[in-house]
Amino acid sequence: MSQNIETVLTEDRSFPPPPEFAEQANVTPEQYQQMWQRAKDDPAGFWGELAKSELDWFKPFTETMSGEMPNTKWFADGQLNACYQCVDRHLTTWRKNKAAIVWEGEPGDTRTLTYQQLHHEVCKFADVLDKLGVQAGDRITLYMPMVPELAVAMLACARVGATHSIIFGGFSADAIADRNNDAQSKLVITADAGWRRGKEIPLKANVDAALDKSPSVEKVVVLRRTGADVTMVPDRDFWWHDLMDKATPDRECTHVDAEHPLFILYTSGSTGKPKGVLHTTGGYMLGATMTTRWVFDLKDEDTYWCTADIGWITGHSYIVYGPLSNGATTVMYEGAPNWPDEGRFWNLVEKYSVNVFYTAPTAIRAFIKWGDQWPEQYDLSSLRLLGTVGEPINPEAWMWYHRVIGGEQCPIVDTWWQTETGGIMLSPLPGVTATKPGSCTTPLPGVVPAIVDEQGNELDANQGGLLVMTQPWPHMLRTLYGDHDRFVDVYFAKFDGKYYFAGDGARRDEEGNYWVMGRVDDVINVSGHRLSTMEVESALVSHEQVAEAAVVGFPHELKGEGICCFVTLKTESDASDEMKAALKQHVRTQIGALATPDQIRFAAAVPKTRSGKIMRRLLRDIAAGRESAGDTTTLEDYTVLAKLREDE
């Protein structure tokens, strides 16, 4: 592998933390050094002390860490509740009447929930779950817009010990059905519809279609959001407000074991069905709590806004669990960044006087495209810290973010992590680290990464290789739901269980900064979200006129990577623009709008190795309009390649 990953980026600009920032930061350089070394040498001691001081336990744990990676358990004989960490524990402090969630809907409606109000709602909805027959350990699907009730539903699940599985509102009925079936969900919580660019996303209708194919689901709770017409099936579907009217507000937290499953979140793998990444309670909550405090430098006075959707891990850890566990004020916005115009985010920053702002490179590229005149119309001087996540950020986008949004005053934390890691792993600490555009810099305390070759040998500085983690950490995934063998196989088998393999290529420079170069397998990163090329291929092949499909990513100005599909039709003469449109629509229906192909190219055949493996590297070159320099000696039929090029 090492010889396959080329370093093309050289970046010398460096931005030390502004002295005023460093002075007030939650972590100083000395503390970072000390914590990092301690956590490396004595992970049990380091995390054990933090778990005792930073989390509230109903039953204290006696053993911090047990078992070898990949089956390490954390705080296993302790009991706690994630909802208690996020809500109840603040009620005995002055934060009782502090804003927990500041929410704005796309049409401009607003709501603020204090910790006390959040508690009231969550307790009532927990009572609703009880009355619907939900038991600890049951799986519940949430398919909702970005409204406060989504956070309420998550926390209520945690309160009663049910495991939530949140599905991003952009996914289709088939994707919901697959996930319902995999998790054997009993209950779906949804809304009539959600707002997106002034249009209604028909969430309930999608759920209805999914339920034809997911028999485990017995009941559906429907929140009224837009007022859209929906069909309510008697004895199966219930309105949120009807149930809440009858609920009582005194439901206590169920005491769950630290290793009790908190949530499943589905993410793409390179082959087969999506992977149900499972996170547990104690370790995840400790990771979410500490990384939020270290990386975002949260202060009680801060207004903090992460623009992600709660349907992704970023929203789980850094809109809900991390900020609320810290007693912070977290902003939630329902809609699109360009509705009613391209200034919406900056309008929100000004209106709520946001201090800490966390978004994705794909969004930043869109802001750049829309032009500086949008942020320039607003007062962004409240901002003191900026963050990014989801994919490598191009240095020029970083510089724009620094200059135009940060006014050259705000440190930028480029945070590398994954659904599987539960929380941020590599990131600058804003009062400690000199940042470099394009680098996620250094590991957080408790994170001990390495760059290795295919054989697991550690590589020297500036050699591109595979990014691995050499020590377990509390907030790592515990398994892939229902498929522990696959879990071991995907993340640990490559290096005989010794390392966690993240699937990313990276290098470390001579100063110890990490530069992530992207995924090494067949997963593409579209707008900061992993999509499996394999799933898009399956969707295409399920179309009756398609014989074969090969899907690759190509560099895309806004999305990071776009989706290019090479399609062989059963009847070559069917190739037409209408067919292209039909196939795009087909993928959209099968997977969701996120997976809509950017390009469909008809091909008489796709290049394959003699063993029948599609040579994606060649297709990637073609999709990107590059000459293929690489090795083609394993190619079965050379003429295929020449034909594909002619067709461009």
Write the interaction track for ligand WT7 spanning residues 237-276; mark x where CB under 6 A is met and - where it is not: ------------------------------x---------
Phi, psi angle pair for 126, to nearest 5°: -65, -40
**Dist CA 400 CA 408 (whole Å):** 10
- Interface with ligand WT7, residue 278, by CB under 6 A: no
Q: Is 359 one of the binding residues for ligand WT7 (CB under 6 A)?
A: no
Q: Which of residues 521-560 bind ligand WT7 (CB under 6 A)?
A: 525, 528-530
Between CA 616 and CA 507 the distance in angstroms is 23
CB 80 within 8 A of CB 56: yes
Q: Which of 99, 241, 87, 59 is nearest to 159 (CA)?
A: 87
Q: Which is nearer to ligand WT7, 156 or 385 (CB)?
A: 385
State how beta strands 99-104 and 329-333 pair: parallel
Q: Minimal CB distance to ligand WT7: which residue?
A: 419
Residues 307, 355, 415, 568: which binds ligand WT7 (CB under 6 A)? 415
Q: Tell the smallest beta-carbon distance from residue 414 to ligand WT7 (Å).
A: 5
Q: 3-state DSSP call for residue 419?
A: coil
Q: Which stretch binds ligand WT7 (CB under 6 A): 449-457, 500-508, 589-597, 603-611?
A: 500-508
The answer to whether residue 480 forms part of the interface with ligand WT7 (CB under 6 A) is no
Residue 506, C-beta contacts closer than 8 angstroms, at least 6 positions apart: 451, 464, 465, 466, 467, 514, 515, 516, 517
- Picking from 473, 145, 99, 106, the residue whose alpha carbon sits closest to that of residue 323 is 99
**Contact assessment for residue 456 and residue 467, using Cβ atoms and an 8 Å cutoff:** no
CB of 528 to ligand WT7, least distance (A): 6
Among positions 145, 269, 392, 592, the unique one binding ligand WT7 when judged by CB under 6 A: 392
DSSP SS3 for 338:
coil
| Binding flag, residue 417, ligand WT7 (CB under 6 A) | yes
The answer to the question of residue 504 lying near ligand WT7 (CB under 6 A) is yes
Judged by CB under 6 A, the chain residues 424 through 453 that form the site for ligand WT7 are: 440
Stretch that binds ligand WT7, among 16-24, 181-189, 321-329, 388-396 (CB under 6 A): 388-396
User: What is the nearest approach in angstroms of ligand WT7 to the Cβ of residue 59?
Assistant: 32
Q: Which residues pair with 505 in a beta bridge?
A: 466, 518
179 in helix, strand or coil? helix
321 DSSP assignment: I
When asked if residue 515 is in the footprint of ligand WT7 (CB under 6 A), the reply is no
Could you say whether residue 419 binds ligand WT7 (CB under 6 A)? yes
C-alpha span between 260 and 162 (Å, rounded)? 9
**DSSP 8-state class, residue 567:** E
| Whether 411 contacts 17, CB under 8 Å | yes
Which of these segments, 13-21, 41-49, 416-424, 562-570, binds ligand WT7 (CB under 6 A)?
416-424
478: left (phi over 0), alpha (psi -120 to 50) or beta: alpha
Q: Does 416 bind ligand WT7 (CB under 6 A)?
A: yes
Q: How far is the CB of 361 from ligand WT7 (least distance, A)?
A: 8
For ligand WT7, the binding residues in 283-342 under the rule CB under 6 A are 312-314
Comparing CA positions, the residue from 288, 267, 337, 293 lying closest to residue 104 is: 337
Out of 26, 418, 471, 632, which residue is the one contacting ligand WT7 (CB under 6 A)?
Answer: 418
- Interaction of residue 508 with ligand WT7, rule CB under 6 A: no
Q: Which stretch binds ligand WT7 (CB under 6 A): 216-224, 327-335, 410-418, 611-619?
A: 410-418
Q: Which stretch binds ligand WT7 (CB under 6 A): 245-253, 409-417, 564-572, 611-619?
A: 409-417
Are 230 and 205 in contact, with CB atoms under 8 Å apart?
A: yes
Q: What residues make contact with ligand WT7 under the rule CB under 6 A?
A: 267, 312-314, 389-392, 414-419, 440, 502-504, 516, 518-519, 525, 528-530
